[in-house]
């Protein structure tokens, strides 16, 4: 996460540089909170006003735009809370490296959801696909870059959330859990890591 103190090649004052850094960090903190807030807003409206009938999951026969709404739709407050407690820490681990890497994971997750949406017979929703995308990125980026920060982020992610990796396997996933959504998200995160590694100048902040 690089925050320069130059603008158009000219050095900037320490005060302006500090102000820019503060705004940058505030933006990084706010981004996952805004995305998570959308999920909580949807669930509050769904559960409190519509009796759980406002389901925005993707699945067979659903419109294309459910690819974008599915991550923000959940089965209930318990489902959302579980995802929230993992989504935020993993989000900040990725953002410690790059904001563009974080956004690339979201894009990759949505793109890899397309074949699941088209071909998988069961609908799915929730932030868990993105959660596994973040985890997939963190697992691979340390191995690819072999830099102290990337290795540290990979190590922390594995220590905290390595126990979630069996959720990628159909025989290890609980009944009713979309393991295919987890697997596609994890693969998306690894693809994002490869993109970051191959294009560091374009994807580093």
pLDDT at 176: 75
Given 1.20.1540.10, 1.10.10.10, 3.40.50.300, 1.20.1250.20, which CATH number is that of 10-203?
A: 1.20.1540.10
Structure tokens at 65: 């735009």
Residue 137 and residue 129 in contact, taking contact as beta carbons nearer than 8 Å: no
Please give the share of the chain, as a percent, with pLDDT higher than 70. 87
Q: What is the pTM assigned to this prediction?
A: 0.87
pLDDT of residue 204: 46
Where do the DSSP E strands lie in the chain? Answer: 6-7, 10-11
For 49, phi and psi rounded to 5 degrees? Answer: -110, -30
With a cut of 70, say whether residue 9 has pLDDT above it.
Answer: no
Is the Cβ–Cβ distance between 183 and 189 less than 8 Å? Answer: no
Confidence of residue 113 (pLDDT cuts 50, 70, 90): very high
In this prediction, residue 202 carries a pLDDT of: 47
Residue 18 predicted with pLDDT over 90: no
CA distance 53 to 48: 10
**Is the CA virtual torsion 178, 183, 189, 191 positive or negative?**
negative
State residue 177's pLDDT score.
Answer: 82
Angle between helices 128-145 and 179-198 (to 10 degrees): 40
Tens digit of pLDDT for each residue in 169-183?
988 887 778 899 999
Q: Which one, of 138, 128, 127, lies nearest residue 90 by Cα?
A: 138
Higher-confidence residue of 8 and 43: namely: 43
Helix (H) or strand (E) holding 152: helix 148-161
Domain ranges of the chain: 10-203
Radius of gyration of the chain (CA): 18
Average pLDDT over residues 124-149: 94
In contact, 144 and 199? CB cutoff 8 Å: no
Read off the pLDDT band of 1 (50, 70, 90): low
State the average pLDDT for the chain.
88
């Amino acid at each position: 996460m690089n925050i320069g103190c130059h603008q158009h090649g000219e050095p900037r004052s320490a005060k302006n540089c500090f102000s820019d850094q503060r705004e940058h960090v505030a933006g990084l903190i706010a981004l996952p909170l805004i995305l998570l807030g959308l999920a909580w807003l949807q669930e509050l409206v769904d559960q409190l006003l519509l009796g759980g009938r406002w389901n925005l999951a993707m699945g067979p026969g659903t419109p294309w735009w459910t690819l974008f709404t599915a991550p923000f739709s959940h089965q209930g407050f318990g489902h959302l809370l579980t995802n929230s407690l993992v989504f935020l820490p993993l989000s900040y681990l990725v953002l410690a490296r790059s904001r563009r890497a974080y956004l690339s994971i979201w894009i990759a997750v949505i793109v890899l959801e397309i074949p699941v949406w088209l071909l998988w017979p069961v609908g799915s929703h929730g932030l868990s696909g993105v959660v596994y995308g973040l985890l997939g990125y963190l697992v691979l980026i340390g191995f690819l870059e072999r830099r102290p920060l990337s290795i540290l982020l990979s190590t922390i992610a594995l220590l905290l959330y390595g126990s979630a990796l069996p959720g990628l396997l159909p025989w290890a996933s609980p009944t009713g859990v979309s393991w295919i959504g987890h697997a596609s998200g994890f693969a998306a995160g690894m693809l994002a890591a490869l993109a970051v590694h191959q294009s560091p100048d374009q994807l580093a902040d």
